[in-house]
Structure 1
Amino acid sequence: MLKKFLMIEDFISKEALSGILLFIATVAAVIVANSSWGQAYYDLWHMPLGMTLGEKSISMSLTYWIDDGLMALFFLMVGLEIKREMVIGELSSVAKASFPIIAAIGGMVVPALIYVALNTDNPLGFGIPMATDIAFALGILMLLGTRVNPALKLFLVALAVVDDLGAVLVVATVYTSEIKAEYFLHAGVTYALIWLLNYMGVKKILPYLILGVFLWIFIHEIGIHATIAGVLLAFAIPISSKIDEDKFIEKTRESLDEFEKHRDPIPVLNHHQIDALEGMAYGYDKVQNPLVRLEHNLHGLSAFFIMPLFAFSNAGVIIDFSTIDANLMIVLGVVLGLLIGKPVGIFGFTYLATKIGLIKKPDDISWYDVIAVGFLGGIGFTMSIFITHLAFSDETIIAAVKLGVFAASFIAALIGVMLIMMKKKA
């Protein structure tokens, strides 16, 4: 139990620092975009880059390489988090999972309905207010320190994981370009080979990642957003280790005894001690869970490089409120979806489901806490921006929506923080 708690605390602390970096990267992007360097900023991200594999060439702008390539690694990490939570975490049983699942569903359905109601003639942007930026939300909770009920953090993590799964499904099924069915066979065979590795008990990560690259290429060619390859790969990564903990303890103790038995006054390790160390290193490698190890390795890369880079390359928007006037209903759908739809959906769905006996509210959080988390769930930010680029191609619409996402996320965060601080004072 302590090990699990420490793992969650480490996850939350990294997400918190990532949220701060995201904020800095976003502010920097907006400042640069509205400065004399603005044109150079846009030229940089629209610079074409490509690669050739045999007779096949792939060429995209730098922004698309970040959004389709690096973000595939981010979605790989998201997929690993989802699988971990479903197998051993807060979503591993019906009793644990039911409350955050219902909360997440409400937090996705209501914002989408609000957007569609205001944009019946152009509903494609419904996915934008459905997303929650877990890094920003957890970052705010961590900055509040002891004012925050620890159970609230766990609830937000579980809710955000389910929310991420919903976002993945929307991206996979809705935001796709022209489908090239002939590549389905290539992708299917590649994915089958990945699962074959799992079935054969392969615990090394490298073979999975190599096949994952080919899966990314084939899914990109199909026309489905290539980041989905990351999630599909994550579900196939094995979670069980090569040896169990008891075996590791036994072998490590034997190696440690061997190391101690052959101590000598010479200040250089002898070959018996070196062999003992190699035995411990072998056990260390084999006892680690492949899924958890890969998630741990990706988390720093994602939190401190991929997401800040994504924010800096995508958040730069020229502050021009005339774009909002020209796309008022779209922006209003996004703003009201995040600012009203999220808290209403999260609170409303869980409250009704509890009243009819479908789920049970955890004893360590109150309905007041659920409302506060609902507003923090309205921090869409990077995920909302990501889906904005999938939903629209018109740069004026994208610029207007980004301003709406910034405004709604800021206000939602402010209300969430105020509610938490007011409860503490009371």
Structure 2
Amino acid sequence: MTETSLLAQAARPFRALFESDAKEGLLLIAVALAAIAAANGALAGPYHDLFHAELSWSPIAKLDTLHLWINDAVMAVFFFVVGLEVKRELMAGDLSDPQALRLPVMAAFAGMALPAAIFVAIVGGDPQLDRGWAIPAATDIAFAMGVIGLLGKRVPLPARLLLLTVAIVDDIGAVLIIAFFYTAKIKLVWLFASVAVGAGLVLLNWLHVGRLRWYVLGGLVLWVCVLHSGVHATIAGVLAAFAVPMRQNDGTPLLENLEHALVGWNAYLVVPLFAFANAGVDLRGLGVGALFAPLPLAIAAGLVIGKQAGVFGAVFLAERLGIAPRPAGTSWVQVWGLSALCGIGFTMSLFIATMAFGGDDALYEQAKLGVLAGTLLSLLFGYVILRLAPPLEQPAG
């Protein structure tokens, strides 16, 4: 074998990583590590000041730091893309079939309820910590699918679709949680203005207005109104996305084309920027015991144990009770591995942590530590299970 062929053979696994869905997950891992390195090294001061120092001028007084602009404005784009994806799935995708919807809805619901219950049980009803109950309830689609990309054909296509659909339903639940449980004091004038602008966007859809610029303009106005209403501004992204028509008057796909145009920006700019601004947990002076403080332990346990037990238990019960079968060609060990990957919270978990503990630096750092630890353990656990799981043997004949 020549030296060139040996090099090509050695490089094949790495080439496969970047030719699959894995690159998005790998990018998030790299960005998270960069943020942690910056927050704990010589750049710790500049890193903190970059995101948290008060801006000398801001077009919106409410957003007076770069961190707030990223979390309240840039992340609205993330939620807009999530909204587009959810609407497409509801109208013409896996979520449009009520029968196909039963299993992922059951799995997603159990995978949100059990982590929240574990969190509440560990923090012991501490009113200062209770606000974080929803942090371990979320799944990061890009990260989880990135790990699946690393595994290639070891994960059957129906199993991939189950994970994706559970994560999408999970996102719907997370958006509802943010809207109803992490809302500040409501300002009625701005709330009524938000309703009026949202109704205007719906009217555009009803009148079959196919010009994208009107939806973009309306979405920006809606974001400003929601930002000042007390409801978290990123909800405006989801609402605006639901107003976008599926097709233009000539039949050209509008929503799907817009989603495809934004998904790259979302995956390679918006989410990594958010991750870099929020994943930089300060580990200096912390020992291993810091992980066992009530808040990080509750979050990590919710993600690693709660997600895994909730999703797997729901799939198991659904099949045993005849409600819905597990994905075709998927073994129970593979279902277990997929359930573990649902514990990769990262983006949405960090986002909820900013709303739960953003006003308390010490608790916010603990929450980030719990999210990162739970995500890492779920990633490694799920990857190893799926990597070692034998394929399901098909019956002969």
**Which aligned pairs between 1:112-151 and structure 2 lie closer than 5 A?**
112-119=116-123, 120-122=125-127, 123-151=130-158
Is 2:97 the partner of 1:93? Answer: yes
**Which aligned pairs between 1:312-331 and structure 2 lie closer than 5 A?**
312-320=276-284, 321=286, 325=290, 328-331=293-296
Q: Aligned AA for 2:381?
A: I
Is 2:226 the partner of 1:219? Answer: yes
CA distance in structure 2 between the partners assigned to 1:130 and 1:366 by the alignment = 25
Is 2:40 the partner of 1:24? Answer: no
For residue 43 of structure 1, the aligned residue among 49, 52, 64 is 49
Is 2:213 the partner of 1:209? Answer: no
220-229 or 364-373, which deviates more: 364-373
Given that 2:94 and 2:165 are in contact with CA atoms closer than 8 Å, whether structure 1 keeps it comes out as yes
Given that 2:291 and 2:370 are in contact with CA atoms closer than 8 Å, whether structure 1 keeps it comes out as no
Counterpart secondary structure, 2:209: coil
Q: Which residue of 1 aligns with 2:80?
A: 76
362-371 or 378-387, which deviates more: 362-371
For residue 234 of structure 1, the aligned residue among 241, 256, 264 is 241
Q: Which residue of 2 aligns with 1:254?
A: none
**Which aligned pairs between 1:146-185 and structure 2 lie closer than 5 A?**
146-185=153-192
Given that 1:381 and 1:405 are in contact with CA atoms closer than 8 Å, whether structure 2 keeps it comes out as yes
CA distance in structure 2 between the partners assigned to 1:368 and 1:290 by the alignment = 40
Counterpart secondary structure, 2:63: strand
Unaligned runs of 5+ in 1: 1-11, 245-286
1:310-335 CA distance string (max 9 Å, x none): 11111111114269649811111101
CA distance in structure 2 between the partners assigned to 1:47 and 1:23 by the alignment = 26
In structure 2, do the counterparts of structure 1 residues 424 and 402 end up closer, same or farther at CA, with 3 Å as the change threshold? Answer: same
Q: Aligned AA for 1:47?
A: A
What is the deviation of 1:132? 0.8
Given that 1:324 and 1:331 are in contact with CA atoms closer than 8 Å, whether structure 2 keeps it comes out as no
Q: Aligned AA for 1:333?
A: A
In structure 2, do the counterparts of structure 1 residues 226 and 14 end up closer, same or farther at CA, with 3 Å as the change threshold? Answer: farther
For residue 310 of structure 1, the aligned residue among 274, 286, 290 is 274
Unaligned runs of 5+ in 2: 1-17, 393-397
Q: Which residue of 1 aligns with 2:199?
A: 192
Given that 2:21 and 2:150 are in contact with CA atoms closer than 8 Å, whether structure 1 keeps it comes out as no
In structure 2, do the counterparts of structure 1 residues 104 and 173 end up closer, same or farther at CA, with 3 Å as the change threshold? Answer: same
Q: Which residue of 2 aligns with 1:417?
A: 383
Which structure: larger Rg?
Answer: 1
CA distance in structure 2 between the partners assigned to 1:386 and 1:136 by the alignment = 15
**TM-score in terms of structure 1 length:** 0.82
**TM-score in terms of structure 2 length:** 0.88
Q: Which residue of 2 aligns with 1:5?
A: none
Q: Which residue of 1 aligns with 2:15?
A: none
In structure 2, do the counterparts of structure 1 residues 326 and 116 end up closer, same or farther at CA, with 3 Å as the change threshold? Answer: same
Is 2:361 the partner of 1:395? Answer: yes
Q: Aligned AA for 1:383?
A: M
Is 2:368 the partner of 1:364? Answer: no
Q: Aligned AA for 1:34?
A: N
